[in-house]
Structures are given as structure tokens and as C-alpha cells.
Structure 1
């Protein structure tokens, strides 16, 4: 792409880099003394391998937070760079299919609509309201006719509590099902940094998609709220980082959803799938419609 390119890259903590596809997916590169770790590879729209190699020449471990296409889209571009592609053991059989054309076309439409609406918001911001941040603006969408997300077979299976030693820093694997059965977060106790994937996001939590489990989501977020999190790095949206207070609020929200203490309304997600919308301050939770619900 011309201009600023598809990615927005910035150092968010010492040796930790956000590689964002603004408005879409946030991937993170963590650099140790001996090994670099890339947590998620994004949409596969841009060349994430090039972004990684501009930041480090160390051997590379790719960790996918879960098996959804938008978090493993760049795996294929890293086949010549990564020493391993690691996923939670519950996702071993979930990485075997490429993204279907209908999914790619559907997401392409969403991406164009997102850019259109962001452009309208930016125009309003330019009048003096300062609602947007040009450093992480939603990028123009490139030609997607050749876009594909190939399946890359995992070469390493991760388990709860496993430690990933990068040399000089170590991250622990936390199995956090809810959004998907194979979801994992990575926790660095020494810095209080949490790589959260889709277990924590600053927008709409998809707890209604196939494989999602609301009770498991609640248990996972409750577990994260018990950690001394200083910085939570999130998997989506322009607001890519939050602190301990936010993690606790998300856990409380899911507890309310599980206990039936919300008043959801019927809506559709961005793909057009029906869902129940549970609204909270600054984010929302989508759950699958239940028979007899008519809000």
C-alpha cells in the first residue's frame, strides 16, 4: 500500500510492540534476549512478516491466541521466519481450514464500511472536536480480490501454566476459554503485562459465535481480574490497552450476564447474525438469542 501503509506500529512497553491493523486486529511482538514472540498474526491483508523483521532479527515464536481467521491470517507469510507456530492444545484440530471465500468477502464489505464511517467521523473531528487520533487511524482498504487466509498447521501445542522463556523475560500461558474453546492469554508477572487476545477487548465481546461459552467467558475474566494486571494489551479496536480496573469491570459484567442481571436487547452483529446485546459503560457483550426472549 502507498502512504502510511496498512499497519500502525509502536512500542507500548520496553521490548513490547503493538503491530495494529487499526480498527481490525492488534498483534503484539515481545522481544527477549534470545527469542521474539509474536502474539497473533492478524488479518493476512498486509505483510506482517516485514513489520516483524523491521523490529527484530531474533528467532521467532508465533503464538495464536485462538483459531479464528482474523488472528491467524498472517501465519502463512511467516512460514520462512517462525521456528514454531504454537496454539493451545484445545485448538490443535481447529487450524486445518483456510478462510472460506464467503467469509473473506463478508469481512471485506465490513472493512470498507468501517473506513467509510471513520472518514465521516474524521471530518467531524477536523472541525475542532478532536474525536480521532491520526496515529492509529483506520486505514484505507487495499484491493482484496487476491486476499486469502491459508491454513498453517501448528507445530507446538501449549498447555495451561506453560512458561515461554524468551531470554531475560518469561511469559506464562493462561487457558482462557469463552470466546473460543482454545483461547489463551500470555501473562508476564514481572511487569504485570497481559496479552489478552479476544478475552479482553475495548468494544463488543463476541460471546454468541460458534464455540463460545458465556459461563466459561465469565470464569476466564474473573480469573484475569484476580491478577495484578498493570497493562492489558487487547486484541481489537483502536483502544488497545487498559489497566486493572477495566479487567475487573469486564469480569463484573460477565458475572451479571451469567446471573441474568442485565436487560439485553435484540440486535445483529456486524456480520448480520442475530444476538442479544448487553450494554455496559464503554463496551457490550453479545450472547446468543434464547427462545422466548423478546426485548
Structure 2
């Protein structure tokens, strides 16, 4: 599907680009001297390959932060062009299924509601706050009757400590389970850049879905908090860029949730699934209701 206006493309740092589906998923393109790296491929609603080729003609390495459909939706458009599609070894078997029709239909409904809510918010915003502009606009939702997210077999398995050499820049693979067992972040020690996927997001952390683990989330975010992060690039929401202070606050929040030091209340996630919601300054953690084991 060629929908170039679905994406928001912006500079995210030196030789780094945000390729966002605003309000949905943030993917990132990093350029080395010899190789480009695309971290996550988004929803598959638009052709992310087309966007990448507008930015670089370098050979391409695709890395999925984890196996969830919204982060590998563009894999099919890149399968014939990428040098490799790389995932954590724990996620290899989790990439074998296409997105079921009921999930696609549910998300399409959510996307339409998100656009409607954004329009209502923007109408209020123009009354004086001016937090929104065209750079962060949640896009109108195109016709999604032909939307598919196909299973694409990974061609490379990554493990903790692997180094991805792009020529002139090197990124280290960090295994960061919590949101999912196969979660990985990419860390560039020379610049302090952290590609965080869903291990860090500026919204609601899904710690209640199958495969999620609050204790693992706490360990992973604590580990990220110990790094000298200068810039963290996040996997979701309009606020895609954060600093070390945010990483520290997320780590402290997950430790509090793990240790029972919060006051959660009953709520639902965006799909209507019952959760316990733990609110913090600028984000929330969703966990499974009591008696539910994930």
C-alpha cells in the first residue's frame, strides 16, 4: 500500500530518522557508512520500504524490537530488499503467524476512534495551548479493507551483547524482556543513543498482555537506567524522544509496581481488556487483574 502521507518523517539525531505513524508506532532509521538499520517496521498500513528508500540507498538491515504485529507490519514490504530481518532468538518462533483478521478489525476501529479523539483534542488545543501542529498530527485513517500483516520468517537471530556494525557506527543488542520475552533495545555507547521499542514508551505500558512480566520489566528498565543515556527514542505515542531522567523514572515506577508500592485501580486497555492501572507522571503501567496470570 503506497500511502506516503500516512508517515511522519523527521530527523531524530545525526544520521538518524524517525519514521512515525503518528499516534500508532514509531520506527527509526539509522545510517552508517556501509549499512542502514531500520528498527521496527510499523503497522503495514503504508509502504515503509518506500519511505526508507527516499532517505537512503544503503543496504538495509531490519531489526524488530519484538514480535508484536504493530512492530513487524512492514516486514513483508522489506523482505525482498533487506540484507536481513533480525529478531531476538527468543522470538524466532513468534514470527510465524500473520495477524488474525479480528485483531486487524479491532485495531482499525481503535485507529478511527483515535483520529476522532485527536480532532476533539485539537479543537480544544487551538483555544490557547497550541500543543499540536502538523508535525505531530494523528493521521486520518485510510481504507483498511485490504490491510494485512503477513508472517515473514526472520533471517538472522540476535542475542544479548551482539554488535551490529553499520560502518562508522556500532550498536549493541540488549535483551530487555518485560513487555514481551523477546524484547530488544539497541544501544550506541559512543553517542548515548538508545532505541527502546516498547521497553520505554510515553503512554501506557502494556505489562498485562500474554508474555509480559512485571518483574522482568523492572529488571530491564533498571538496567537501562544504569546506562549513560543522552537520548531515548520510544516505540509509541507522539512524544517519541526522552532523556535519561525519563528512563530513571520508568525504572523507579516498575520497581514500585513490582514491590506493591502503588495504588492501582480497575480500568481497561485500548482493546477493552480489563486491567489494573498504575498512574505515574507522564505515563501509566497496565497490569493484569488479580487472579490473572501472564
TM-score in same-fold range (> 0.5) = yes
CA distance in 2: counterparts of 1:127 and 1:47, whole angstroms: 35
Partner of 2:24: 24
Cα displacement string for residues 130-182 of structure 1 (whole angstroms, at most 9, x for unaligned residues)? 13132120000000000000000000000100000000000000000000000
Aligned partner of residue 257 in structure 2, secondary structure: helix
User: CA distance change for structure 1 residues 49 and 223 in 2, over 3 Å: closer, same or farther?
Assistant: same
SS of match in other structure, 1:93:
helix
Residue 184 of structure 2 corresponds to which residue in structure 1?
184
What stretches of structure 1 of length at least 5 have no aligned partner?
none
Q: Deviation per CA, 1:62-115, whole angstroms, max 9, x where unpaired?
A: 000000000000000012210100000000100000000000000000000000
1:147 paired to 2:151: no
Give 1:277's aligned residue: 277
Runs of 4 or more, structure 1, over 6 Å off, are 1-4
Query: Is residue 79 of structure 1 aligned with residue 79 of structure 2?
Result: yes
Instruction: State the 1:121 CA deviation.
Output: 1.0
State the match for 2:229 in structure 1: 229
Q: How do 1:66-145 residues align onto structure 2 when only pairs under 5 Å count? A: 66-145=66-145
Pairing 1:54–2:54 present = yes
**3-state DSSP of counterpart to 1:54:** helix
How far apart in 1 are the matches of 2:73 and 2:109?
A: 17
What CA distance in whole angstroms lies between the structure 2 residues aligned with 1:133 and 1:229? Answer: 28
When the two chains are superposed, the root-mean-square deviation of aligned CA atoms in Å is: 1.3
Cα distance, 1:4 vs structure 2: 7.2
> Given the alignment of the two structures, is residue 263 of structure 1 paired with residue 259 of structure 2, yes or no?
no
Does the 8 Å CA contact 1:121/1:131 hold for their aligned counterparts?
A: no
Q: 1:31 to 1:4 in 2, by over 3 A?
A: closer
Q: 1:252 is matched with which residue?
A: 252
Q: Name the SS of the counterpart of 2:6 in structure 1.
A: coil
Matched position secondary structure for 1:142: coil
Provide the secondary structure at the position in 2 that maps to 1:164: strand
Q: Is the 8 A contact 1:198 1:236 kept in 2?
A: yes
Q: How many residues align?
A: 292
Is this contact kept in 2: 1:162–1:173, CA < 8 A?
Answer: yes
1:290 — aligned with what?
290
Q: Tell me if the contact between 2:22 and 2:138 (Cα under 8 Å) persists in the aligned partners.
A: yes
CA distance in 2, matches of 1:131, 1:29: 26
1:32-59 alpha-carbon deviations (Å, 9 max, x no partner): 0000000000000001000000000000
CA distance in 2, matches of 1:289, 1:258: 14
- Summarize the alignment of residues 203-242 of structure 1 with structure 2, pairs less than 5 Å apart: 203-242=203-242
TM-score (norm 1): 0.97
Structure 2 residues without counterparts, runs of 5 or longer: none
TM-score (ref. length: structure 2): 0.97
Write the distance in 1 (CA, Å) between the matches of 2:151 and 2:90: 17
Whole-Å separation in 1 of the counterparts to 2:291 and 2:51: 47
1:217 to partner: Cα distance:
0.2
Q: What SS does structure 2 have at the residue aligned with 1:129?
A: coil
Match of 1:160? Answer: 160
The equivalent residue for 1:170 is: 170
